[in-house]
């Protein structure tokens, strides 16, 4: 479909690169602005606050779920320790990995500090 | 390479002409060190919808003579894929110039800011519709 001299124009594409980095740079900008308390339009600030609140609530809810799960797991561990032959519970591995992943997500979301994450992880692993 | 803010400009013309009339205005911008053209590509879409891509040195001698002095660099940052995408939205029997230019004025201004220990806090192009809305509100009050 295309003719003409196209030597050396085999790059990734300006428009495609713009589209790809728009997501990343928009986030970076929003993040750096929020962190550095830079100028924001009122609408933007509101939007961001709503998003942050939503994320906060989600993280909070997630944290509550995690706490409940950890309590359940601890109860299991107590039972397992009391049992004469503490075999790993069937299917427990998947649950544990999922919980570890959730923990990592919480840490990434900032809902858990490094220390909290380490403590929760140690509890999960029973170490 | 010290490179300032870069913008993409796509201008389309009816028919199969890259009109030279834009040259004097562009030349003024280039010579006034307001912009620096860092890439340029020419597209032509025939009556049959077939798109032809031309580098600056594929142009006819007369057109080449007009464009060449104002193009400072052909970085080839514009790719074939860009040209294809932009070609898709052109009407049949039309031509377009794809131009990537550096806002030289902004580069020099940014250098001056740095020297003065100024820091860029915000730089946003305000959409025309926003300005129109504000002007209308001003007029109404």
Q: What is the DSSP letter of B72?
A: -
Model ipTM value: 0.70
Q: Does B79 touch chain A (CB under 8 A)?
A: yes
Residue showing tokens 């009407």: B91
Query: Over its length of 141 residues, how does chain B's per-residue pLDDT go in tens digits?
Result: 457 889 999 988 888 777 778 889 999 999 999 999 999 999 999 999 999 999 999 988 988 999 999 998 899 999 998 898 888 888 999 999 999 999 999 888 888 888 999 988 888 888 888 899 999 999 998
Please list the helix, strand and coil fractions of chain B in percent, rounded to the nearest 5, in that order.
40, 25, 35
Q: Across the interface, do B80 and A10 touch by the CB < 8 Å criterion?
A: yes
Q: Does B77 touch chain A (CB under 8 A)?
A: yes
Tokens of B68: 């060449």
User: Measured between CA atoms, how close is A70 to chain B, in angstroms?
Assistant: 45
User: Measured between CA atoms, how close is B42 to chain A, in angstroms?
Assistant: 10
Specify the pLDDT at position A122: 85
Q: How far is CA B122 from the centre of its chain?
A: 23
Q: What is the C-alpha separation between B134 and B2, in angstroms, rounded?
A: 36
Residue showing tokens 């879409």: B45
Q: Where does chain A have alpha helices with state H?
A: 14-36, 42-82, 92-109, 114-125
Say which of A1, A5, A13 has its CB closest to residue B58.
Answer: A5
User: Measured between CA atoms, how close is A37 to chain B, in angstroms?
Assistant: 10
Whose CA is closest to B23, among B74, B13, B75?
B13
Specify the pLDDT at position A12: 83
Burial of residue B97, with CB atoms counted within 10 A of its CB: 0-12 exposed, 13-18 middle, 19 or more buried: buried
Q: Across the interface, do B79 and A1 touch by the CB < 8 Å criterion?
A: no
Say which of B58, B79, B121 has its CB closest to residue A9.
Answer: B79
């Amino acid at each position: 479909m295309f003719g003409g001299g196209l030597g050396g124009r085999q790059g990734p594409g300006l428009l495609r690169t713009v589209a790809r980095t728009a997501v990343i740079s928009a986030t970076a900008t929003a993040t750096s602005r929020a962190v550095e308390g830079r100028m924001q339009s009122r609408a933007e600030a509101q939007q961001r606050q709503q998003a942050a609140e939503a994320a906060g609530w989600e993280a909070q809810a997630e944290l509550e779920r995690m706490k409940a799960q950890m309590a359940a797991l601890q109860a299991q561990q107590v039972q397992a320790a009391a049992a004469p032959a503490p075999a790993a519970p069937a299917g427990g591995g998947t649950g544990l990995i999922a919980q570890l992943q959730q923990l990592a997500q919480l840490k990434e979301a900032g809902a858990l500090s490094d220390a909290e994450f380490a403590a929760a992880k140690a509890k999960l692993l029973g170490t | 390479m010290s490179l300032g803010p870069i913008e993409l400009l796509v201008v389309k013309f009816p028919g199969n002409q890259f009109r030279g009339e834009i040259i004097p205005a562009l030349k003024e911008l280039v010579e006034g060190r307001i912009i620096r053209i860092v890439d340029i590509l020419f597209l032509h879409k025939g009556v049959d919808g077939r798109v032809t891509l031309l580098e600056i040195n594929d142009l006819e001698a007369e057109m080449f003579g007009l464009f060449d002095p104002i193009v400072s660099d052909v970085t080839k940052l514009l790719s074939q894929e860009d040209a294809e995408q932009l070609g898709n939205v052109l009407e049949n029997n039309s031509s377009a110039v794809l131009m990537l230019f550096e806002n030289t004025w902004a580069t020099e201004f940014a250098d001056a800011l740095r020297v003065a220990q100024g820091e860029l806090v915000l730089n946003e192009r305000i959409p025309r519709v926003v300005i129109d809305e504000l002007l209308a509100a001003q007029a109404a009050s």
